[in-house]
Structure 1
């Protein structure tokens, strides 16, 4: 319980450092939720939860090891695009502004994944979160 409290306190302080100590009605937080482990050939759903407050979504971008592989922009046509990154195969029919589904993961899919959420004007706020996923062979 204490570690959860320390973790929440850390994020609160970090948010105050990034966004300042004033009260904001805009983008409040971003949290990545993805499977820690997957076996080769499985699907992997990467979830990006966020609270825009009163802001309007500009874009959601996904990165593997800091290389962009998926972008969702509500005002663009098409709204979603995927980009070539080794080991990452996006199922576009199952992906949207809140989740990205990867097909047939392989050992090359392992890595650090991050989701970045950006708000429209006037705030132009941006925040991101990251987590690691490993694809492992069962021994």
Structure 2
């Protein structure tokens, strides 16, 4: 027998311990995380926009209630209503802005907006008939 053919090399007889992750494993994890993020982020943005729109609608409803209280206290008129006089017992949600426009004896418009979400809602309040429909949109009035 050839003495050289029976030599066992240290590199083949002792298993090497793996330290860390391979580049392929790291890339696979990064790709999986990126795919999950691609699906999750649009849903988060939509939920945030829906929440802001809901807060704007709520502020319009609160503004209408404040306008009704003002109407009763001021002798059945909306003339002179503004955000200071109408909002004595409540305030708009953070980031929202509520205004009263076109005040008349028997009607007023209540507008609420959120600039961050670019959402605006309007309700016309008429005492001599039906209240106007709540109109919400994106953009300006």
* TM-score greater than 0.5 by the shorter chain: no
TM-score normalised by the chain length of structure 2: 0.29
Greater helix proportion: 2
Compare CA radii of gyration and give the structure with the larger one: 2
Which structure has more relative contact order (CA 8 Å, sep 6+)? It is 1
TM-score normalised by the chain length of structure 1: 0.29
